[in-house]
């Protein structure tokens, strides 16, 4: 059986980001779970702030189209989401918004968010572990874009102390929850093949 293709991205491009660290761990664990993994950084897809007038005047930026193609080339997508002001980062929301606007060759609305499965997790130095960003991200993906997001999610509190020197999660219970979420993502992604 062919392995599902899963895209991994972080909603942060900050140097030393806990969510980028988590995305790297997710990519490693997914590879061990027999998935074909692509890890990207939104830093490689710079986009202007979404503006409907700019969209109407100039069309979608090349990087929005490239990011849409990247998402559509995968059966599953895993997003790690830092928490900014009890929500997702402006960087992540902007990328989602631009990709949602790209229409090519008669694509249906929100084409990049259909026919694939999404999974989400967060790491934060706070006690909630980015949980509020996950609630906002789930709402954006499910209600806003019509995406299928698995119910499993992991939030990692006190992220500055949550990883060991090899970037594995120290807490065994949290590490097991993440592995269970990843196994479910792989299983669901196989159904999308």
| pLDDT tens, the chain, 193 aa long | 789 999 999 999 999 999 999 999 999 999 999 999 999 999 999 999 999 999 999 999 999 999 999 999 999 999 999 999 999 999 999 999 999 999 898 898 899 999 999 999 999 999 999 999 999 999 999 999 999 999 999 999 999 999 999 999 999 999 999 999 999 999 999 999 9
Three-state DSSP at 98 gives helix
**What range does the domain containing 71 cover?**
5-191
Evaluate the CA torsion angle 42, 46, 48, 51 in order and state its sign: negative
Phi, psi dihedrals of residue 26, rounded to the nearest 5°: -60, -45
Do 156 and 109 form a contact (C-beta atoms < 8 A)?
no
- If you compute the radius of gyration of the chain from its CA atoms, what whole number of angstroms results? 16
Could you give the angle at the alpha carbon of 138 between the alpha carbons of 188 and 154, nearest 5°?
70
Domain containing residue 50: CATH number? 3.40.50.360
The set of residues, in sequence order, having a beta carbon less than 8 Å from that of 144 and lying 6+ positions away, is: 96, 100
Domain count within the chain: 1
- What DSSP letter does each residue of 7-19 carry, written as one string? EEEES---TT-HH
């Amino acid at each position: 059986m062919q392995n599902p293709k899963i895209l991994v991205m972080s909603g942060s491009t900050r140097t030393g980001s806990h969510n980028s660290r988590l995305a790297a761990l997710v990519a490693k664990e997914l590879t061990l779970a027999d998935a074909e993994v692509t890890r990207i950084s939104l830093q490689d897809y710079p986009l202007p702030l979404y503006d409907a007038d700019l969209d109407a005047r100039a069309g979608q930026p090349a990087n929005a189209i490239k990011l849409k193609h990247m998402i559509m080339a995968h059966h599953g997508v895993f997003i790690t989401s830092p928490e900014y002001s009890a929500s997702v980062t402006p960087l992540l929301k902007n990328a989602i918004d631009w990709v949602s606007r790209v229409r090519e060759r008669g694509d249906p609305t929100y084409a990049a968010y259909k026919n694939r499965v999404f999974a989400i997790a967060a790491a934060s130095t706070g006690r909630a572990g980015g949980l509020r960003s996950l609630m906002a991200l789930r709402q954006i993906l499910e209600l806003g874009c019509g995406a299928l997001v698995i119910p499993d999610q992991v939030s990692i509190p006190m992220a500055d102390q949550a990883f060991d020197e090899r970037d594995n999660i120290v807490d065994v219970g949290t590490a097991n929850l993440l592995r269970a979420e990843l196994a479910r993502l792989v299983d669901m992604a196989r159904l999308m093949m």
